[in-house]
Amino acid sequence: RRCCGADSLSTPAHPPPAPMTTETRTAAAGPSRTAPVADPLEQKTLHIFVSRALQKILREAPKKYTELRKACIEVIEELKAVGDGQLPAEADLAAPSPTGPTPSAAQLQQAAAGAEAAAAVEAEEGGAGAEAAAILSPAPSGREPATPSFSSPDHDADPDGTAAAAARMALDDVAPVPGTDRYFVPLRLACESKLPRIMEVSLHCIQKIIAYGYVRGKVAGEKPFVDVVMETICSCKDEEDKEVQLQIVQAVNTAVTSAVTAVHDTTLLLAVKTCFYIYLVSKNGTIQKTANATLTQMLDVVFARLESPGASSMAQKDAFLVFRSLCKLSMKPLPEPLPADDSIELRSKLLSLQLLYSIIASSGERFRGGEKFVWAIRQYLCLSLLKNGVSPIPAILQLSLDIFVTLIKYFKAHLKSEIGVFFSNILLRILESSNSSGPQKRLTIQALRVLVAEPQLMVDLFLNYDCDLEGKGIFTSMCDGLSRLTLTLQALSETTEQDAQLKQLALETLVAIADSMVAWERDVKAEGAGAAVTPVGQRPPSIADSSSVSMVGPEPSPVHRGGGEAAGEAGQSPGGGEAGGEVTAVVASRESVDFEAMFHRKHEVHEGVIKFNMKPKRGIRYLREVCGLEDTPQAVARFLRETDGLDKRAVGDYLGEGEDFCKQVLYAYVDSIDFANLTFDQALRRFLTHFWLPGEAQKIDRMMEKFAERYCSQNEGVFANADTAYVLAYSLIMLNTDAHSSQIKKKMTQQEFVNMNRGINDSGDLPTPFLESLYQAITTNEIKIKEMMEHERRAAAASNDAARTSRSKLFNLESAIMVKESQELFKAKARKRAVYHSSRNVEHARPMFEACWCALLASWSTIMEERYDDAVPVELVALVMRGFANAVHIAAEFGMATERDAFVTMLAKYTYLDSGKTMGGRNIEAFKTILSLALTDGDHLGGAWAQVLKCLSEFQRLHMIGTGAKTDASIFFPAARAGANGAAGLPPPGAPGLVSPPSGRLTARQQSILIQPARVRNSSKDAEVEAVNSATMVDSVDVVAIDRIFSGSAQLNADAIVEFVTHLCAVSREELDAAGDPQVYSLQKIVEVAYYNMSRVRLVWARIWEVLSEFFAEVGQHPNLSIAMYAVDSLRQLATKFLEREELLNYQFQREFLKPFQDLMGAAKSVEVRDLILVCLGHMVQSRARSIRSGWSSLFGVLSLAAADPLSSVAKAGFDLARDTVREHFALIGDHHAEGVSCN
């Protein structure tokens, strides 16, 4: 057997060409051609390789191979004649070509060792060569898209083609080393001998010749010499000897990766297919790994040439052809039933997907931005992903998802429509399907987790799909789908263990979403970003880019008008065919896009769709008033036709209404449908595809009347008039119901249908064959709307009693529908272009969180509500707590009060601090998370401080129980003091010991009062539970972190500190109002917080004191005298501290600060409280008289109230204080003498 072009390699009759010098060989790279001159060293090196190989071949070749032996002898004799009767010595070897020799087999094996060898098998296979050949041969397909033209290079590389033409001429015009073509004849014959040992020697020699750059120029017939050599090498691929296969792989790799040897076009494809073939048919695992590594290396070289400066059009064409061939290989269907893991079909698909992934992942800017390659991805790779993305074989699905994720990262700007279709129709439906297997769901979730780990990419997905008025909300649907997975009680996979793994993986992905949102928000703020979205040119943005790539979008529907993109024309493929969606150059613009408004508008439209499905007229009214739907029949008709999610029954009911406006909508709706050149039954099917016929005869009558009019106007001459079409349409609807209803036992016959329609064509008959064809079309193919077909498919898929094997078959059916629908969407979007946005505006995190917070909260709550604590791994609890913390951070940062309070409330609930339930590890972690949030996000907690502070109060109570401290009840209720808490030594209520010395510090006994916030439970069961919980809290929580919350209040911003104090006062009220079980913990903390924040600017302090003064005035009137007196003493401490600050003239801060004493003096009913107020003021006058300025006004106001007190003891105490004040500090009173006189 001879290879192609072998006849042209016979020994020429003319003498060899003149030797070629280095200078002339260099000049040959130019436009002009010069005669080649032999390089003596090159020629001698070639002679050494050939002579050694031919001598080995002669020794191994049997005598019956006369032609081979004769050719070898002739060449050897010729070489001896050149060398004066001796063969050349190896010492005369020249250096190899500039690229160096090809890697050895050992090096290739070492390179492949680290790579995945998923298809490496050792099993014997019969007929492997035939199967591999069938796989690698091109399969007949439908209409092939036009191949892009590569006649000219890229616009940014060698625009005039001079460099490319010169480079090609340099390789094609250089003649071979003299004699190479003659010396190749015996090597070719050796390859054709089918003797493994001889073939190995010959291939090794050929590989050496290629490595040294001696295969160049053209041979007889103007065919490139390298093409002839490659055909000879590749013709040996059927040989099963592993040494021969190894030599083939080495030789092919050397030729393709050489910078001297020009392997292009079909020869390059032949080389790739040869290595692919050897990988498939080889029975040796080492050869398979080597072939795999060689393929990877060759493709790296091919696509590296594409990215090199000045890349020629030939380099583009080579890359395109290889890429397209691999895509087609990956699309070849697998046989049924599914093949074994070591089958050639499966290994072929896996290898092609692996190579495609390698190309996409390592691609450069020319590949990612070139129109030709984007077109190829859209035409071939996207179709491959559709078919392989629903594969039940995990390895295929894994590779498909890896490619898809990589496409999103690098080609998202070019493939916006395709990404949206694949996401919504493949990935999310795998998650939702009850028939998809556990591994399919697991791999899909893992792919989603990889995507959401890229913060910018996740934000881009939200902006481009969830904020696209005409697109499906990918981000929202993904979060909802993952959340449903964690919440479902139905089996998700084959085993319970797999179900648990899937739920945990879904939880981890949702937490990763929150992680990415926080990371993105912090990164953007660190950059000082917040700029508007800006479109850029053709370069696809990286994940970190702050840009948007603009493409013309479709005309928006009426309900979206005003927020959608402008209309655009269909795009053209690089080869002239239609292939829309390509990136177009745009002018950079700083005009911002209000994504939040678009998101809310889309949400409003969704609400309108829901209302329409319930009450059509009410829904249309809502869409007009809220969503801006134009009040025209054409706009409403377009909305009914183009909006997803509408209930087809509701559409039919609305179109059939008798009101004038509804009739006009019906007419506009029907007029928007094209019935031209359709048969009557086809037109009726198209008409009834988008809605259900209503049940009322009058509504049906109006619809059929308009349908008939429209059909006849577009298909003149089919019927005599519209009445004929009207009657026939009614007949077909009746026939459809009769033929396909299970309730009708006696079916209408064909003759009865023909007879029923006689005389309807303007008193004439329609042709009988025409009516019979209509009868057959309707009875054999029921008229169904898309929603009905989808409902039937889901009903079949949801049959819970089906066996697992049948579920697999159901998913195959389901996946076929998914792929078909996706292909239809690809075609529908082929002429549409869109705008891809990539933003760094931090405000976009707000609508993102608004879209997903419910799903996050619901899924994370399942872990915290698990019945048994031991059933939840510790690391999973920590993961969920991180999610809660991230969610609270995002909600707090953007002022989303409802969302923030929801998460904090749930966290507080899961602490079990006041629930009567036994606490576990999860509850401790929830409390620690609350502490962390209070320390890190205190500025933005707002109303959530109430839950945080209440948890701190409950913790302190349990902490006191755990440490055996005394209770507040033993202090404030004398009856309780005789109990086991040992509080008998404390002063009774109203004792002067409650008043601190003038220094403002508390005595040791008073300090003991402030640290007794324990609550006594009535039932013994509660006491037992709290004893256990208190021990758990004491051992697990660091109280220093709690103290830092209050001491750190000085670092809160102005609004936050006011919120903090307000809610701290509210919690204190709850503690103090507990009947029989009061606490002073929060009251103590109020005093501490006031101390920490007294140094704030006076305007902020005035806001704080406005809250505190009202609180102290209220608590000072508490019915429990001990509590009231404690509040007055706390107020005295703060006043004494505040008076340390000097007040300038004409300011009134002291007066406002001391005003609570005046309010209490007038409102307090307790004599003890009034007496205590006078004692407190006396201490302040004695210790801080020199600091008092405007405070004299409030002090004399208190003394005036005391003078008017009906009790003489109070009046006398007030008079004594006033007399002593005037006597001792008269000079300090200043302008307040009149007030001092009046109180006396």
Q: Is 355 exposed, middle or buried (0-12, 13-18, 19+ CB in 10 A)?
A: buried
Closest to 952 measured CA to CA, from 1060, 1066, 1042? 1042
Supply φ then ψ for residue 536, to 5 degrees. Answer: -125, -175
Residue with token string 């405070």: 1191
Beta pairing partners, 578: 572
Q: Write out the DSSP string of 1185-1207.
A: GGG-STHHHHHHHHHHHHHT-SS
Concatenated DSSP letters of 686-742: HHHTSSPPPS-HHHHHHHHHHHHHHHHHHSTTSSSSHHHHHHHHHHHHHHHHHHH-T
Q: Is the Cα torsion angle 1200, 1201, 1206, 1212 positive or negative in sign?
A: negative
Tell me the one-letter amino acid at 704: M
Total count of residues recorded for the chain: 1240
- The single-letter DSSP state of residue 223 is E
DSSP H/E element including 549: strand 548-549
Please name every residue paired with 549 in a beta bridge, in sequence order, or none if there are none: 536, 836
Contact 363, 303 (CB under 8 A): yes
Q: How many CB atoms lie within 10 A of CB 952?
A: 23
Terminal CA-CA length for the chain: 134
Q: CA 1015, CA 545: separation in Å to the nearest integer?
A: 57
Q: Which two tokens stand for residue 371?
A: 């129109």
β pairing state of 535-536 and 548-549:
parallel
**If you search the block for the tokens 């910078």, which residue do you land on?**
259
Residue whose C-alpha is closest to residue 253's, from 243, 268, 266:
268
Backbone phi and psi for residue 945, each to the nearest 5 degrees, phi listed first: -60, -30
User: 3-state SS string over 430-489?
Assistant: HHHCCCCCHHHHHHHHHHHHHHHCCHHHHHHHHHHHHCCCCCCCHHHHHHHHHHHHHHCC
Q: Which residue out of 569, 578, 696, 1024 is catalytically annotated?
A: 696
Residue appearing with tokens 């493709």: 299
> Is the link from the previous residue into 12 a cis peptide, with omega within 30 of 0?
no
> Would the CA dihedral through 549, 552, 557, 560 be positive or negative?
positive
Give yes or no for a contact between 311 and 154, defined as CB atoms under 8 angstroms apart.
yes
Q: Which residues, other chains included, contact 116 with Cβ-Cβ below 8 Å and sequence gap of 6+?
A: 354
696 is annotated as an active-site residue? yes
CB-based contacts of 997-1001 (< 8 A; 24+ apart in sequence): 997/1179, 998/1136, 998/1179, 998/1182, 998/1183, 999/1183, 1000/1133, 1000/1136, 1000/1137, 1000/1183
Closest CA to 447 of 478, 396, 397, 405: 405
Determine the Cα–Cα distance for residues 598 and 603; give it in Å rounded to an integer: 9
CB of 966 closer than 8 Å to CB of 1084: no
- Are 918 and 1028 in contact by the 8 Å Cβ rule? The answer is yes
CA angle 320, 325, 331 (to 5 degrees): 130
Amino acid at residue number 907: L
Catalytic residue IDs? 696
